[in-house]
Every structure is written in structure tokens, then in C-alpha cells.
A and B are shown apart, each in its own frame.
Chain A
Amino acid sequence: MRQNKWLLLVVALLLGLVLAACSTTGSDSEEGSEDEGSTTESESTQSDEEKVLNIAATADIPTMDPIMAEDNVSFQYVSAVYEGLYRIATGGEIVSGVANKDETEISEDGLTYTFHLREDATWENGEPVTAQDFVYGWQRAINPDNGSFYANYLMSGKIKNAAEIYAGNMEASELGVSAPDDYTFVVELEKAVPYMDSYAAFMTFFPLNQEFVEEQGEDFALTPENMLSNGPFKMTEWNTEAGWVLEKNTEYWDAENVALDGINVKVVKDADTGLSNYEVGELDRVSLQGAQVKDNQTSPEFKSLTETSVFWLKMNQASAEKGEYMQNLNFRMALAKGFDKQSYIDVAYGNDSEPVNYFVPSGFVEHPETGEDFQTGSDVLAFDVEAAKEYWNKAKEELGFEEVTISFLSGDTDVSKSISDYMKTELEKNLEGLTLETVNVPWAQQLELMRTHEYELAVSGWGPDYKDAISFVDLWITDGENNDVGYSNEEYDALVESAKGELATKPVERFEALQQAEKIALDDAAIAPIMQRKTSVLSKDYVKGMDTLNPFGNDYSFKYVDIQK
């Protein structure tokens, strides 16, 4: 008897719960325009005219303000919503955007660029995109009150008066840009910038509609309503941390050549969750991490994309305690050649990143005339245990030591720890008398220690912001801002200076000077190259135009992406 009552009670409670749960969640589900043709039901086959790409992003978009974009996610979507003077086409070629590339005039000394804009480019609201919009966009970027990192990084010392403006000694209106008429945009430089084309396609240099931006004030670019697109797509929805929706911008001047009707992006932070969604058909493409790479390598949908990021071991010649060791060439050579790069990659990424012996990536820049790749592939710093041992013994003689302890700075994640364990085992095994002391600290602290040069060995990488070898070669000039390895070589400096100066308007000689400079730095073992990174994805075969990564800026150009089922 008592039992029955209990059972009834439990059932009643459970029923009540189920109903309660349904009513609490049912209320907030039917809002939002999620079902306006942009969602894809897994069972419905998309009609031919609806081409919607479903992808994931690893994080919410930090900013949609072109001058504040500093990361891959922001780059990706800012470049889809806006269009600069030029844009990056699939495969990395820089093509006409709002400005017609063929008509651009460059003065003899390379200091004045005159861009001619298309007259049919408009903002989403129908207003034409004018040269004034570029003047405003560039001035807004360099204005120190706006705190754009990239504006100063890319403009100062190059665009006329930029450094002075950023330092607060001049008004932003004095920046060397002008609009003689609505469709002519003139840029004056302090010195020739051979990679001006890259600038013209980079977010920091995008146009902005002054009236609109000022109307939005503090809220500019925070929601789809606060944005004004002039690019192939416009943002129609943005749910923070959940995802966002882009739709084709019918007002775009080249809309007829934009294949996609829309892009649905969902924030997926967990790699396994991404893969699950790919498997059930929620996503058309997903990037693979760690063990997932090996598990999916044989899939016909697996792709490996080469990045233009190179990673190397830094040997700090300016370190307080071990500087004298690090300054010894044989000592550095021994370290550089003393560990197996392929094993490093297996430990760190487990994918098919390329072990390399150079620091300017391959597949990045080509010879201006012959079109050959910059990278001819040096092997001076290739892994070679025997050679490393010889260098090590020479270093021992020259420096007069038998045993030495060097610290290796690395992050505190599991992967970082396996990397430092690997380096310790490998180098201690190959170089007798070496003790590698591993220091694992949080990422932020690691960066801080590198910034202040308080480390002995560390691994770091570099990705370019414009398509030119100088982006990498410039790193190691004496006392350079990014030279945190204390390397110094006069001949190298002279070559880099000439590439930045008198050779700026002589592309072939400049190209060769940069190749020469890289060779010197490698012969000197300024750094010890490890690998050029690749990223692995699974991508449904109907997704077209996402087979390569752009060499700088936004990884993909959605304008040229298509879905062909």
C-alpha cells in the first residue's frame, strides 16, 4: 500500500518536472530569425540557388572594427564584410578591389601612389565608396586616441607623418593621404614601400563611411546594425559567443561573381565537438587538432594547408648568464643541428608540418621576374648529429667548458611540457655535457620574458602581415625591435638597409639582397629553424575555393568560395 503511494508520488513529480522544463525552455526558442533560409536541416537537400557555407570558428570575433582587427578570426570576417583598395584572391594573388590595380600610378621614386577607384562601388546603403572614405579610414586608424596596434606597426616611418601623428605631435589630418577628387586617392610615403599592394589589401587600410561611423559613436561595429558593408558580404546576425551569419551583399559592385548566398559560422571551442558536428553534417568544414590529425589522415576529405608561419629555436646571445656561450658560433651550430626536427613536429603537432632549415617560408614570395620561389632551401642548419657533435667539441675547446647548464623556456600546457621534455632528452643525448633546464611558465609570462630578453633558449614563430620577405629578414637586424636573440652582423644589416632604402625601387636586386641576407643569418645560426607549420582540415568535397591559405591577413577569401553539390 505504502509502496503504491510512493510510486505515484515519484511519477507525479517526474511529470511535473518534465512539463516545467519544457515550459521554461520553450519560451525563448522561437525568437530570432534563425529560420530565414539560412539554417540547414540535415535532412533537407539545399536547393541549387541556396548556397550556404556552414563552418566553425574557434572563438567569437573580438572586433569587427577594421582598424582594431589583430587576429585571424577578426581578419576573416572583416575582410568579408569590407573591401579595401585591393583584395587577396585565392592563392594569395593581390587583385583589384575598390581601386583598379592596373590603373594605379607609382611615381618614379616610389614615394607617391595614385589609386583610381571604381565608380560603381557602393556602401550597403547605396552611397558611393569615395576616396574620402579611404582618407577618413586611414586617418582614423593612425589617430592615437583609437589605439590601433596595426596602424602604427604598418604606417609609422612609411606613410608620411604617421609616426609623428601616432606620437601625438601632429593632427591625424596631416597624414600623407588625400582625395583630389571622389575617385582618386593619393598616398604619400616617407620611403618607398615595395609591398604597398599588401597594404592596399589589409584591414587597417580599409575605407570607412565617416558619417556612419560617427553616427554610431561608441557602438560602431558592435552589432550588425552598427556596421556598414562595402564588401561581398554583410553581417545579418551576431550572437556573441554562439555564432554569426553573413549574407551576400547584393549592393556589392561585383555581386554577380560572388557564389555563396551566405555563411553560417558557429563558435566551437572544443575540437572533438567540431568533429562531431562535421560527422552529423552540421558543418561543411572543420579543422583538426592533435590526435584527430592522425585519426583522419586517410579520409578522402582530409586536407593539409601550408601556412606562412615559421617556427624556430631562439638562442639568446644577450642573456645575462649564458651570453658568452650563445655568442659562440660553434655552440649555436651544435644546438641548431643537434635535434631532430621531425620528432619535434610529431611531439608538438602530430601533423605533417614541414621540417625546415630556413626562416623565410616557402610558397610565400616569388622572384619578380622569373617567378621562382624565394626559398631555395638551405641545409646549413639541417639536423645532423655527427656535425652537431663536432661543433660542440669545438665550442668546448674555444670556451673551455666540459659541462654547461642552459635553460629552455616554454609554456605550461601539456603540449609545451612534452616539447620541453623532448628537447631536453634529445639535446642532452646528442651533446655531451649539456644539461637543459626546462622552465615552464604560463604563455603570458613566457611572452613577457621574451620581450624583456630574460631567457636563454625558447621556441617562437612568426607570421607575416604583408607579402614580402622583408617581414622575416628584418627581424634580425642589430638592435631591431623584434630582434630578441641579440644577433648582430654588419654585412647582414647593410643588406637589409639597402633593401629598405636604395633597392626599394629595384625589385630584382632587392629580392636577391634579401636572399643573400637570409643566407648570412643562417650561416651564422642567428636562430635555429624548426618547421613551417601546416594546418589540417576535413572539408566536404562540394566546398570549393578553400584549398589554400592566403599568405597574410585573412586566411580565406570568401568572395571566391563556392559550393558545388
Chain B
Amino acid sequence: MAKYILQRLIYMIITLFIIATATFFLMKMLPGSPFDANAQKMSEEQYQSMLEHYGLDEPVPVQYVKYITGMVQGDLGVSFQYDNRAVTDVILDRLGPSAQLGAQALIIGAILGIILGMIAAIRHNTWVDYTSNVIAVIGISIPSFVFAGILQYYLAVQWRLFPPSFWETPIHTVLPTIALMIFPLAICARFMRTEMLEVLGSDYIELARAKGVSSNSIMFKHAMRNALIPVITVLGPMTVSLMTGTLVIEQIFAVPGIGEQFVSSINTKDYPVIMGTTMLFSILFIVVILIVDLLYGLIDPRIRISGGKK
């Protein structure tokens, strides 16, 4: 087990290094410069001296080596768009609200989705099943910002049940959480239903039934455990994308999250922040994938991480 994890960690570092390199050079290929707003007002000389000030006048490979060296030492540089703010601060300040919102949406959405999917599978081809199907289809096909708009208009502006936006008290988090959890809820419900149906029709469940195992035990110990595997596969990456914020939801509910940074840093050519957010996303992603792989071993007795021969 330890050997396996160590091996995975080495792969991770190599992966991250490749991502950092690719991002860096791709980013440098973007047209424009970080001082767009006033580039019009700059003389050529001043343009050059501003490039110099930000260390952008050196050849790209030199900049690259400097950046990677800094990154290894934990220094991600300072942002261009937020004058003199350390990139780590820019990211950490904004990560909190996004992570909280993402976690709330994910936990509530996933649990409700799993329950809904299970009920639909157990009550296969009844009105319960059809209703949950409709909910799932709506959740998958309608973009979250439409929900966000509807929720804000009716619940906040028309009926004044909740504040329309901002990130201040628990009450403020209700609407964005609902808007964001629709998608994970729908996905989980779909996967859970399909998998449960498949598992419930499989040989070993038949055998368990024949042996007289109680139906609860069959549901939770055998069927649900196996049905959860694909759900977990989907939930892993989804966790990362939810926790790192979603541009649209954050804009609509004025949540001071990081989702928007991914986009605005690219638009403003804020190179250090582009690198910072990309690396953050990659690291989380890779770690989550590892966790998912380890979870398989815990959930599915057929998968053995250590000792097994591949």
C-alpha cells in the first residue's frame, strides 16, 4: 500500500511539472499584454519599461526557469491585476467561499441524488421512478445559471424569502447552494438508478436472496456498495470543479469565490495568477483521483490495491 502511494506521488509530481510547463508556454502564446487597460496610452518606451518592471522583457525560457524555481520554493509571484498582492493570497482569500459553497452543494446534492436514484431503482417503473427521471433530466439539461436566475427572481426579489446575493450569513448561502447542487443531484440519481438496476439483477444478488439474506442487508451491504463505484468515479472530478468555484453562480450570487479568477486572470493576462489557479486545480484534481482509487479498494472487494498482480 505504502509503496503504491509513493509510486503514485512520484507520478503526480511529474504530471504537475508537465502541466506547469505546458500552461506556461501556452499562456505566453496568448496575444496581448498584462497592461491592456492603459496599453493605448503608453509610448513604446514606456511599454518596454513596464515589461521590464514585471520581468516580461526576458526571453520566455528564462522567465520559465525563474518561474519554476520560484514555484518549487513555494513563491508564486505577485499578481498584476491586484497590484502587489501575492498570488497565494489572491487564491487563498477566494478559495474559502468557493470551497464551502462547493462542499455544501456536493454533499447535499450527492446524498439526495443517491437516495433518489435508489428509490427509483427499487420502485422501478412506477410513478416514483418516472418522477425521479424527470427531475434528473431537468437537472442535467438545464444549466445552473438558469436555476440561479429563477431562484433569485422568485425567492429573493418577488417573495423576499432569502437575500438575492452576497456571502455573509448561512441564509445567504441557501440559494447558491440549491442552484449549484441540482447538477450533482441529477448525475448521482441517474448513475445510481442505472447501477442499482444492474446490480439488483445480477447473479450474486439472486444468490443472496435465495440464501435468505434480509432485504435490507442485500440493499445496503451488497447492492449499494457496488452501485456506488461509478458514482464515486464521477463524483471525484466533480468535487474538484465544484470546490474551485463556478464562474456563473459566483457572479449571479456575488460570491467572492475563485471561480471567476480562472476566467478573469486569463482575460487580464495576469500570468502569475493564471499559473497559480491552474496549478491549484491540477493538484486538487490529481489528489482527488488518487483518493478515488483508494476508495475503490475500500468499497469494492473485487479491487485490491496492494499485493494484486496486474
A interface list, Cβ under 8 A from B = 2, 5-6, 10, 13-14, 17, 20-22, 24-26, 28-29, 34, 60, 62-63, 65, 68, 70-71, 144-145, 147, 149, 152-153, 166-167, 218, 220-222, 239-243, 266-270, 272-273, 276-277, 279-280, 282, 441-445, 447-448, 450-451, 460, 462, 465, 481-482
Closest CB in chain A relative to B249 CB, distance in Å: 10
Across-interface contacts of A447 in B (CB, < 8 A): 32, 36, 39-40
Question: B156 is contacted by which of A20, A144, A280 (Cβ under 8 Å)?
Answer: A280
Cβ of B170 within 8 Å of any chain A Cβ, yes or no, is yes
Q: Interface stretch among B46-54, B235-243, B271-279, B281-289?
A: B46-54
Cβ of B5 within 8 Å of any chain A Cβ, yes or no, is no
User: Which among B41, B43, B122 has the highest number of chain A CB atoms within 10 Å?
Assistant: B41
Cβ of B153 within 8 Å of any chain A Cβ, yes or no, is yes
A145 to B36, CA, bound (A): 20
Report, nearest first, the 5 A-B pairs whose CB atoms are least far apart.
A444-B32, A241-B256, A63-B83, A445-B31, A242-B256
Cβ of B267 within 8 Å of any chain A Cβ, yes or no, is yes
A558 to B14, CA, bound (A): 54
Closest to A241 in B: B256
Across-interface contacts of B84 in A (CB, < 8 A): 63, 65, 68, 218, 220-222
Closest CB in chain A relative to B110 CB, distance in Å: 10
Closest to B169 in A: A29
Q: How extensive is the interface on chain B, given as a class?
A: 35 or more
Across-interface contacts of A152 in B (CB, < 8 A): 46, 49
Q: Are A448 and B31 within 8 A (Cβ)?
A: yes
Q: Are B269 and A25 within 8 A (Cβ)?
A: no
Across-interface contacts of B30 in A (CB, < 8 A): 444
Closest CB in chain A relative to B282 CB, distance in Å: 22
Cβ of B164 within 8 Å of any chain A Cβ, yes or no, is yes
Q: A276-B153, A445-B31 are in contact. Are A239 and B256 (CB under 8 A)?
A: yes
A70 to B50, CA, bound (A): 14
Q: Are A279 and B157 within 8 A (Cβ)?
A: yes
Cβ of B57 within 8 Å of any chain A Cβ, yes or no, is no
B interface list, Cβ under 8 A from A = 30-33, 35-44, 46-47, 49-50, 53-54, 81-85, 90, 93-94, 97, 100, 103-104, 107-108, 111-112, 115, 119, 122, 149, 152-153, 156-157, 160, 163-170, 173, 177, 215-216, 251-254, 256-257, 260, 267, 269
Q: Are A444 and B36 within 8 A (Cβ)?
A: yes
Across-interface contacts of B115 in A (CB, < 8 A): 10, 13
Across-interface contacts of B93 in A (CB, < 8 A): 240-241
A522 to B41, CA, bound (A): 22
A26 to B172, CA, bound (A): 11
Across-interface contacts of B256 in A (CB, < 8 A): 239-242, 267
Q: A268-B165, A269-B260, A447-B36 are in contact. Are A62 and B82 (CB under 8 A)?
A: yes
Closest CB in chain B relative to A454 CB, distance in Å: 11
Q: Are B254 and A153 within 8 A (Cβ)?
A: no
Across-interface contacts of A147 in B (CB, < 8 A): 50, 53-54
Question: A21 is contacted by which of B108, B119, B149 (Cβ under 8 Å)?
Answer: B108
Across-interface contacts of A25 in B (CB, < 8 A): 100, 104, 170, 173
A149 to B54, CA, bound (A): 12
A153 to B42, CA, bound (A): 7
Q: Are B46 and A149 within 8 A (Cβ)?
A: yes
Q: Are B35 and A149 within 8 A (Cβ)?
A: yes
Q: Are B170 and A277 within 8 A (Cβ)?
A: no
Across-interface contacts of B119 in A (CB, < 8 A): 6, 10
A206 to B53, CA, bound (A): 22
Across-interface contacts of B215 in A (CB, < 8 A): 2
Closest to A9 in B: B115
Across-interface contacts of A13 in B (CB, < 8 A): 111, 115
Across-interface contacts of B54 in A (CB, < 8 A): 147
Q: Are A481 and B32 within 8 A (Cβ)?
A: no
Closest CB in chain B relative to A544 CB, distance in Å: 26
Across-interface contacts of A243 in B (CB, < 8 A): 166
Q: A24-B104, A152-B46, A241-B93 are in contact. Are A68 and B83 (CB under 8 A)?
A: yes
A447 to B39, CA, bound (A): 7
A193 to B90, CA, bound (A): 40
User: Which among A13, A22, A218, A269 has the highest number of chain B CB atoms within 10 Å?
Assistant: A269
Question: A70 is contacted by which of B38, B164, B169, B257 (Cβ under 8 Å)?
Answer: B38
Across-interface contacts of A63 in B (CB, < 8 A): 82-84
Closest CB in chain B relative to A62 CB, distance in Å: 6
Closest CB in chain A relative to B224 CB, distance in Å: 12
A441 to B103, CA, bound (A): 37
Q: Are A276 and B31 within 8 A (Cβ)?
A: no
Across-interface contacts of A70 in B (CB, < 8 A): 37-38
Across-interface contacts of A266 in B (CB, < 8 A): 166, 254
Q: Are B49 and A240 within 8 A (Cβ)?
A: no
Across-interface contacts of A268 in B (CB, < 8 A): 165, 254
Q: Are B164 and A280 within 8 A (Cβ)?
A: yes
Q: A71-B37, A218-B84, A481-B44 are in contact. Are A444 and B31 (CB under 8 A)?
A: yes
A22 to B107, CA, bound (A): 13
Closest CB in chain A relative to B101 CB, distance in Å: 10
14 A-B residue pairs with CB within 8 Å? A17-B107, A24-B100, A25-B170, A65-B84, A152-B49, A239-B256, A266-B166, A267-B256, A273-B164, A273-B251, A273-B252, A282-B166, A447-B40, A448-B32
Q: Are A277 and B40 within 8 A (Cβ)?
A: no
